[in-house]
Amino acid sequence: MKILRILLVTLTIFFTQISFADKDKYEAGEKLYKTNCAVCHGSSSGMDLKKRIAPPIAAVRMHYINTFPDEDSFVQAISGWVENQDESKSMMRGAIRKFNIMPPISIPKEDAMKIAAYIYGGNLDSPKGLKKHVEEEHSKAVAPAVANNDIKSNTQGITVSISLSDKLKSQASSTDLVFIYAKAMSGPPMPLAVVKKQVKDLPIEIVLNDEMAMMPNLKLSGFSEIKVGARISKSGQPIARNGDLFSEKASIKVGDKVSIEIDTVVVK
């Protein structure tokens, strides 16, 4: 309940702030936003996810404002994203899965910064029902970021060390993608957490945790028996194909440390 209350207060502040926004300061940014971003991020398709092709811009703001509370860092983060869609810096992994990653937009850095400032402080259009959607569906996922005190309980994860066995080194090239994932042993086939790296990053140690959940109610901490695996994708696709290299370990619990040596070739 406490989390929910903090979330509601934050939302109220958020929605009040945007209605008192300073209009002139953000005018140029607003125009640029309308020409370059609104076609995908605008609110005309409402909250019907079947009709939307990207999250509403007010939702994007909501996902960035907790991590980048001051205007400078916010503008850097958003304009950085427009310049280069680096998935490892995404604040909206769920959106990437739902809509696919944003395509590159080529606009001058200055324009991207003006747009970012407008998203930070301007009067954003927000589709009807967004507030409700957030309260209903994201309350669990967004709350840890809002209520700093609660972060600890949610960041415990599985520490995974991944390496590639010597005998398979010749079969992988340094830029091949490596998907490191956790799935429930019995439960939905969809991963509970995924991290994407490249072969040249190996060996590497990463942590899979609740923050990487694709759906707010499908989290690592909700399952007592988990399998963890790593797969080098020859095709760059998240689905296993012939010739991919992989290894998987079963019966892992949140809090465990595992080592995975990729030593098997996928044969389907």
- The site for ligand HEC (CB under 6 A) is made up of 36-37, 39-41, 53-55, 60, 78, 81-82, 85, 90-92, 95-96, 99, 101-103, 105, 107, 112, 115
Backbone CA torsion sign across 237, 229, 246, 202: positive
Beta strands in the chain (DSSP E): 157-164, 177-184, 193-198, 204-209, 226-233, 245-252, 257-262, 264-265
What amino acid occupies position 232? I
Task: Dig out the tokens for 2 from the structure.
Answer: 């406490």
Coil, strand or helix at 265: strand
Q: Closest CB to ligand HEC among 37 and 143?
A: 37
Q: Closest CB to ligand HEC among 9 and 39?
A: 39
Task: Dig out the tokens for 147 from the structure.
Answer: 């209520």
Q: Closest CB to ligand HEC among 106 and 217?
A: 106
Task: Dig out the tokens for 96 from the structure.
Answer: 């990437």
Burial of residue 52 (number of CB atoms within 10 Å: 0-12, 13-18, 19+): buried
DSSP result, 187-231 = S-SS-SEEEEEEGGG-SEEEEEEGGG-SBTTB-GGG-SSEEEEEE
Closest separation between CB of residue 102 and ligand HEC, Å? 3
Residues 223, 239: Cα–Cα separation, whole Å: 23
Q: Closest CB to ligand HEC among 108 and 188?
A: 108
Closest separation between CB of residue 190 and ligand HEC, Å? 18
Q: Closest CB to ligand HEC among 36 and 45?
A: 36
Q: Closest CB to ligand HEC among 36 and 198?
A: 36
